Amino acid sequence: MRFINTLIMGGILSLSLCSAPTLAWEKGRVYKFTVLHTNDHHGRFWQNEQGEYGLAAQKTLVDTIRYDVQAHGGAVLILSGGDINTGVPESDLQDAEPDFRGMNLVGYDAMAIGNHEFDNPLSVLRQQQKWAKFPLLSANIYQKSSGQRLFQPYALFNRMGLKIAVIGLTTDDTAKIGNPEYLTDIEFRPPADEAKSVVEALRATEKPDVIIAATHMGHYDDGKHGSNAPGDVEMARALPMGYLDLIVGGHSQDAVCMAQDNQKQVDYVPGSPCRPDRQNGTWIVQAHEWGKYVGRADFTFRDGVLTLENYQLIPVNLKHKVKNSEGKEEWINYQPEIAPNSAMLKLLMPFQKKGEAQLNVQVGSVDERLEGDRHKVRFVQTNLARLMLMAQIERTKADFAVMSGGGVRDSIAAGPISYKDVLKVQPFGNTLCHVEMKGSEVEKYLAVVANKQVDSGAYAQFANVSLVADGAGVSEIKINGEPLQADKVYRMATLSFNASGGDGYPAIDKLPGFVNTGFVDAEVLKQYIEQHSPLKAADYMPRGEIVYLSAQQKQERQQQQEKRRRSYPQMILAWLTGEE
């Protein structure tokens, strides 16, 4: 794992700090410190079915590293890139209390506030701050009504005599992808602007030796962020060189291991060498998701120069399938097994048992897999999304239903379906809504949502709708197989998240025909499964709900229509003269 020393010989790891003239460090002394980091935890306080990740094994690993670093004259700083909430029912039903209490025992020093920290009302986040024995940081989240920051913008740490500042930053996309019901008085300002002002204030007052940003903004190769808000790469490039020494990121849920400049490795193999990104003098790291890895960055600091001596992503009991000598598949660890910490198990076991008691109740069954993988549901129509939408249609007696693909959070395997499976699919607790609109209004609505970018969480899933989208508008719209009628009134079902403008969908919650039923989405799906089981996955297969036209196809179609329009008089003349 010391491969990065070859890079040191190339002279690319040293960074002269643009710190204030007053020096807190001793000339000639070598300071050692290690940054450990995770991100996008999403409720994974407990190990999965294969014994992967979980805070008990993470605690053992972190303690081992801490003792090693201390034995070599250094100290450890443990940071999180945020998104502790949402993803596992046992955690969701308990407002992530086991996760924050477990992070305390691991010894986290600070975390960035992620967009999923706003999946619940602000009161829940305030309770989580009380559970956490470490600061939840964000410099760019403000209260609209007062103009004041809602959270602590930074924290200061002393490691072996070095003053280290950690600034928290949250993606400003939260205003778009967060639940609008909980964001009415909250403003997310551009992170790079806030980072610049905080760094300059810190230099003038606290004079830190090292400045780190713990962010939840995403890592996008070469700064190509598409429809997402700018991320870590863009911020590092926008700030003057030397403003940030290190960015500990999250949100895009990547293993940031670079194959070459501005290009991450594809299909990173756990335990293999990992070279972090470097932009404008700033190192950028991210440890994939769920606590699958603990990132380790070993630094030395001497005479104002910070050097990254070693970096690695350490897998936490990650496994892969292999065939044994008998031809049977079994799960094998990529690296030696990490034993769970007994104190952590004692802390978390009551939470796990409490959750299991509520969740491991069978509610139905399905004969084949229902697809909800993020790499499918954000690109194409899937059978699971259609099942969810049909449940919403049945409950509301709607003509059709629409939701963003990002609202589908997991797949359902063939076989028995438990309440836990349902909550994995819909963990956010959105409520079911419906609205009545004329066909002309429906067309305008669909023109927006059907042209949402493929590969984003906003990509629209449909039921009882078919249409053609060309990037700007829609045509050939059918509802329940019948052509859309401009003056006919239709009822559309959707979730409160999209109804109030989430994912950039048109807000419909103020329309006269809008109704919020108050039914929670997971409960609606659970009841539908109970009433219709055993389910047949084939009954929910996509049926050509949406056809996308490329620019060339759009042009060709327009040319054909123009050709037909121009030839119409000749056709009439031929018919009148008997030539047709």
Active centre residues (catalytic): 40, 42, 83, 115-116, 119, 216, 251, 253, 374, 378, 409
Residue 186: which of 142, 223, 154, 228 has the closest Cα?
142
How is residue 417 written in tokens?
């379906």
What ranges in 179-302 are assigned the alpha helix state H? Answer: 191-205, 232-238
Cβ proximity of 289 and 253 under 8 Å: yes
- Is residue 552 exposed (0-12), middle (13-18) or buried (19+ Cβ within 10 Å)? exposed
User: For residues 264 and 276, what is the distance between their CA atoms, to the nearest angstrom?
Assistant: 9
Residue 428: which of 500, 368, 507 has the closest Cα?
500
- DSSP sequence for 308-366: EEEEEEEESS-EEEEE-TTS-EEEEESSPPPPPPHHHHHHHHHHHHHHHHHH--EEEEE
User: For residues 162 and 33, what is the distance between their CA atoms, to the nearest angstrom?
Assistant: 9
How is residue 225 written in tokens?
């962020």
Three-state DSSP at 160 gives coil
* CA dihedral (395, 399, 403, 405) positive or negative: positive
How is residue 462 written in tokens?
């449909």
How is residue 210 written in tokens?
């090292």
Number of H helices, E strands in the chain: 16, 30
- Residue listed under structure tokens 């995770």: 38
Cβ proximity of 534 and 364 under 8 Å: yes
Cβ proximity of 203 and 19 under 8 Å: yes
